[in-house]
Amino acid sequence: MEQHIVSKKHASSHTVLRIKNMVFKFLKTVFLLVFSLLMIYPLYWLAISSFKTTEEFFRFPYSLPNEWTFDNFTRAWELADMGTAMINSTIVTVVGTALTVFLGALTAYVLSRFTFRLKGLVMLLFVIGMLIPIHSTLVPLFSIMNEVGMLNTYLALILPYTAFELPISVFLITAYMSSIPKEIDEAAVIDGSGYWGVFFRMMLPMSVPAMSTVAILAFLRYWNEYVFALVFINDTSLKTLPLSLSIFSDGYSTDYALTMAAMAIAVIPTIVMYVFFQEQIMKGMVAGSVKG
């Protein structure tokens, strides 16, 4: 009899536990679904708004267009000279991202693999670099670039972008490289590789997840950066995409239909980048959290 009661209690507790797990999974699914919709909705709103006229944009901001105006994209592309702006943004972003990833990986290799006297000071300098408000350096940077004749050049954007993105890049890649066993380096050295061989043949290929994370973060920052481009670039032929979007606002009014269409075009490369590298980004974000 007692055995039957114990068995019944055990079955009852098992049922309660199973119900709790089901409720938890249901609530988690609902939360993730709502969160996903909240994240996707701005893109949806941008997409539908880009097909509206300015009048319809104000009258029915959240509804689908009554008449889909595809002409917005053509007019926005031509008026803002987005072809030239996209080429400029691509050059600045690709070169800046490549520099950031390579210099970040090279610095991370040294910091994660070697011990030297000033290592702590170097790490401290990178921490300080992350604490400096970027836009507080606009005036001194403008003065320096004006003195050396670097204004209105691609380097006026590439060099500051790379410099300010390096600290976080170094820390992300260093965390990942530190989790790679040092026995791999020793085996490569025994096989005849020098430091550069170990770096290029072993460390770089194994650190792709962390470098992909750095690349996408740098790409997003460089592609959307506005203030540096506004201050350092005055030549129309060198203006980047964020600057080209400002043509639709004259201080008194804004053509929201064309602005939305232009923004929809400008956001496509960032979405494509994220879709292709999302798996590597997730791996890079958790890199270094577990040693060995």
pLDDT of residue 98: 94
Q: Quote the CA–CA distance of 139 and 21 in Å, as a whole number.
A: 57
What does the pLDDT look like over 14-72, one tens digit per residue? 677 778 788 888 888 999 899 888 888 888 888 888 888 888 888 888 888 888 878 88
pLDDT of residue 197: 85
Q: Which two tokens stand for residue 286?
A: 């958790």
- Which residue in this structure is represented by tokens 């006229």? 53
Q: Quote the CA–CA distance of 146 and 216 in Å, as a whole number.
A: 31
Q: Which two tokens stand for residue 83?
A: 């072809």
Distances, alpha carbon 177 to alpha carbons 73, 227, 267, 281, in Å: 45, 34, 32, 15
Residue 206 · residue 243 · CB < 8 Å: no
Query: What is the second-level CATH architecture of the domain 74-285?
Result: Orthogonal Bundle (1.10)
Residue 195 · residue 260 · CB < 8 Å: no
pLDDT of residue 112: 87
DSSP 64: P
SS3 call for 234: coil
Whole-angstrom Cα Rg for the chain: 26
What does the pLDDT look like over 111-122, one tens digit per residue? 888 888 888 888
Residue among 122, 136, 103, 88 nearest 242 (CA): 88
pLDDT of residue 289: 47
pLDDT of residue 251: 61
Query: Each residue's pLDDT tens digit in the chain (292 positions)?
Result: 545 554 555 556 667 777 878 888 888 899 989 988 888 888 888 888 888 888 888 888 888 888 887 888 888 898 888 889 999 999 999 999 999 999 999 999 988 888 888 888 888 888 888 888 888 888 999 999 999 989 999 999 999 999 999 999 998 898 888 888 888 877 888 777 788 888 888 888 888 888 888 988 899 899 989 999 999 998 888 999 988 888 877 666 677 888 888 888 888 888 888 777 776 666 655 554 444 4
The identity of residue 277, as a single letter, is: F
